Amino acid sequence: MTELREEVRRHYAEAATTGCCGGESCGDDAPAGSLGCGNPLAVAELHEGETVLDLGSGGGLEVIQSAKRVGPGGVAFGLDMTDEMLELAQRNAAEAGIRNAIFLRGLMEDIPLPTASVDVVISNCVVNLSTDKPAVLREIARVLKPGGRIGISDIVAEDRLSPEERVERGSYVGCIAGALSTTEFADGLEQAGFSDVTVEPTQDLGGGMHSAIVKAVKP
């Protein structure tokens, strides 16, 4: 495990055990351990019977919501590398009465699911935490079925900012230092084989950083 990955793991393990919430977007009814920078479900357009995967599922908020949307004929997977978050997510799902949610321990660079087994992949401020983003995008493409789609909420940098300038604006665990630029994110998805790629900034965070919604389709 790289030093940065271990730093991320420790940060989110602590968040799970302290009940930390990731800011104003969580809302009063968010389960404990809800961390993120947006709402990928707002653009995921989930349908009954689908299989959805949430990368870096944390306390399980998006998994629980996804499980409700896809119904008993579908399934919502949550993937996280942090034992404390997985335990918290399982408790949250049980308290919500969710039976079609499955939480997996693993890395988004090596997703423990079969090829072409997922209809939709979502994530909320997680891709930026990886030190090997091309591997993450390739794995997303691998597990998606043909016609499968992604709805990712993350932070992006303006193209004018160098990697060094991004580091100056925030920490890696805060999704800032490791942020891709708008063009880098779009190019990375296209190189991984996606089509209909859009990276749409939704909120100006200052200093050339923006929250964004990322969408794409696997041909």
Average pLDDT over residues 106-115: 98
Largest CA distance in the chain: 47
Q: Which of 60, 13, 9, 54 is nearest to 34 (CA)?
A: 60
Sign, Cα dihedral of 128, 133, 139, 144: positive
Q: What is the pLDDT of residue 205?
A: 86
75-80 and 51-55: which strand pairing? Answer: parallel
pLDDT digits (tens, 9 = 90+) for 147-181: 999 999 999 999 998 888 888 776 545 557 788 99
Residue 96 pLDDT grade (very low, low, confident, very high; cuts 50, 70, 90): very high
Please give the order of strands across the beta sheet that includes 75-80. Answer: 101-105, 75-80, 51-55, 118-124, 144-157, 209-217, 195-206
User: pLDDT tens, 35-71?
Assistant: 445 678 877 889 999 999 999 999 999 999 999 999 9
Q: Where are the domains of the chain?
A: 3-20+31-217
Provide the CATH topology of domain 3-20+31-217: Rossmann fold (3.40.50)
DSSP label of 31: P
Report pLDDT for 10. 57
